[in-house]
Amino acid sequence: MAKHWYPVFSSEKCKQCKTCLSACPFEILKFNDSADSIPSLSDSDLCPVNCFKCAQACPNNAVGVIRPAKPCDCCSF
């Protein structure tokens, strides 16, 4: 099943402060070792719909949310 909701991270706005990692209650965000790394999801299936904790915590507004164009069949998101 395709993921219908997920966070995206802006390489222009992200300052690698890693506040989003601390905010994620599911510990599914990761950075690689490069200096210009931005967060990524280690397992998108564990990222719950409408959590938003990473986006709310980011002081640089570097986290956005991708939503489907139309609601999926299983829920209203």
- Domain residue spans of the chain: 6-66
φ, ψ dihedrals at 60, nearest 5°: -110, 5
Contact indicator for 56, 7 with CB cutoff of 8 Å: no
Beta bridge partners of 47: none
User: Could you read off the pLDDT tens digit of each residue along the chain, which spans 77 residues?
Assistant: 445 678 899 999 999 999 999 999 999 999 887 777 899 888 878 888 778 899 999 999 999 987 766 655 565 55
- pTM listed for this prediction: 0.75
Domain 6-66 fold is: Alpha-Beta Plaits (3.30.70)
- DSSP, collapsed to helix, strand or coil, labels residue 41 as strand
